[in-house]
Amino acid sequence: SQMGNKVNITEFILFGLSYDHNIQIFCFVLFLLCYIILLLGNLLILISIYCSTLSHQPLYYFLSHLASIDICYTSSVTPKLIGDLLASKRTILYNSCMLQVFVMHFFGMIEVFILTAMAFDRYVAICKPLHYVAIMSKKKCNLIVVAAWAGGAVHSFPQLTMALQLPFCGLNEIDHYFCDIFPLMKIACTDTYITGVLVVANSGLFALVTFVVLLASYVIILYTLRTYSAEGRWKALSTCGSHVTVVILFFGPIIFSYLRPPTSYPEDKVLALFYTIIAPMFNPLIYTLRNTEMKNAMRKVWCQRVFRKGNLY
C-alpha cells in the first residue's frame, strides 16, 4: 500500500546548516572565504606544477590531479551551500539532487584513489629507491590516473542507482545541506535496510580499508626511514607528514559518516563540512607550506613572471 502512495517528487527542500539568521551570515562569509582560498590555492598549485619541471615527477603529477579533482569535488556542493545560506527558500530539483549524489561520490572516490597513488609513490621512493624510475614510469602514472577515474565511476554508478530507486511519498524535506544517500533514505517510503547495508559496504567499508592500507604504507615508510641519514629522514618525513595530515582530515569524517547504521545524526552536517570543504581547502596549504620543492617551484614560477613583467616596463 505504501508503494501505492508513491508521489513523483520534482524537488526537495534542504534544511541547510541552520535557520538562525546570524549563524547563516557567519557561515556564508566563512564558507565563501574557504571556497575562494580553495580555488586560488589549488589553481596556484596547478599553475606552479605545470610551469615548472615538477610536472615530470610522479608525485607532483598526482598532486596536480588532486588539485583539479578537489576543485570539481567541492564545486559539486559548496556553491549551492553558499547560495542557500542567503536564500529564503532552499530547494533542489529532483534531477539536480540525483546529479549531486553522483558527482560528489564520483569525484570523492577519485580523490581517494589519487591519495592512495600518492602514498604508493612515497612508498616506492623511500622503500625501493633503486627501482623508482622503473616502477613509477610516465605510462604507469597515466594508467593509475585512468584507474582512479574508472574506480570513481564503479563506485558512484551503484550509489546513483540506489538513490534513483528510492520511492518518495510526499515527504521531501532533506535534513542536510546537500543531497546524499543517507538523508534521502531517511525520507523514502520503503524499507531501506538492504540499501543501507550496500551503502555502508560501498562507501564506509571501502574508505576504512583504504585508510588502513594508507596508514600501513606510512608505517612501513617510517620503519624504512631508520636507515636514512638525519637529513634524508627529515626530508622524507616532511613530505609524508603532509600526506598523513590530508589523509586523516579527509578519511576520518568519511569513515565516521558512512561506516555505521544508516541513520542521520545532527553531527553529520558538521562532519560533512570536513570532507566537502575543509579538507580540500587545507590540501593546497598543507602541500605547499610543508614542501620545500613545491615552495621553490612556486618561487621560481611566480618570481620570474613578476620579474619579466618588471622588465617590460
pLDDT band at 262 (very low <50, low <70, confident <90, very high): low
Distance in angstroms (rounded) separating the CA atoms of residues 141 and 131: 15
Per-residue pLDDT, 257? 86
Instruction: State pLDDT tens for residues 226-261.
Output: 888 888 888 788 778 878 888 888 898 888 888 877
Could you tell me the CATH number of the domain that includes residue 32?
Answer: 1.20.1070.10
Residue 1 has pLDDT above 60, yes or no: no
Average pLDDT for residues 268-289, to the nearest whole number? 85
Residue 221 has pLDDT above 70, yes or no: yes
Residue 284 has pLDDT above 90, yes or no: no
Residue 45 lies in a domain: yes
Residue 2 lies in a domain: no
pLDDT band at 4 (very low <50, low <70, confident <90, very high): very low
Per-residue pLDDT, 147? 96
Per-residue pLDDT, 2? 44
Establish how many alpha carbons lie within 13 A of residue 234's alpha carbon, considering only the half-sphere containing its beta carbon.
Answer: 4
Q: Backbone phi, then psi, for 57, in 5-degree steps?
A: -90, 130
Q: Which of 50-64, 87-101, 173-187, 235-249 has the lowest mean pLDDT?
A: 235-249
Residue 189 lies in a domain: yes
Residue 156 lies in a domain: yes
DSSP the chain: -TGGG-----EEEE--S-S-HHHHHHHHHHHHHHHHHHHHHHHHHHHHHHTSGGGGSHHHHHHHHHHHHHHHHHHTTHHHHHHHHH-SS-EEEHHHHHHHHHHHHHHHHHHHHHHHHHHHHHHHHHH-GGGHHHHT-HHHHHHHHHHHHHHHHHHHHHHHHHHHT----S--EESSSS--HHHHHHH-SS--HHHHHHHIIIIIIHHHHHHHHHHHHHHHHHHHGGGS-HHHHHHHHHHHHHHHHHHHHHHHHHHHHHSS-S---THHHHHHHIIIIIHHHHHHHHHHHT-HHHHHHHHHHHHHHHHHHHHH-
Strand partners, 173: 13
Domain span at 42:
11-311
Residue 151 has pLDDT above 50, yes or no: yes
Per-residue pLDDT, 180? 92
Instruction: State pLDDT tens for residues 33-84.
Output: 999 999 999 999 999 899 888 888 998 999 999 999 999 999 999 999 999 9
The residue whose grid cell reads 556564508 is: 28
Average pLDDT for residues 134-163, to the nearest whole number? 95
Residue 3 lies in a domain: no
Check: CB of residue 176 under 8 Å from CB of residue 269.
yes
Residue 247 lies in a domain: yes
Residue 295 lies in a domain: yes
Residue 219 lies in a domain: yes
How many domains are contained in the chain?
1
pTM score, whole prediction: 0.89
Q: Which of 104-118, 174-188, 197-211, 279-293 has the lowest mean pLDDT?
A: 279-293
- 21-50 helix and 78-86 helix, angle to the nearest 10 degrees: 150
Of 238 and 125, the one with more pLDDT: 125
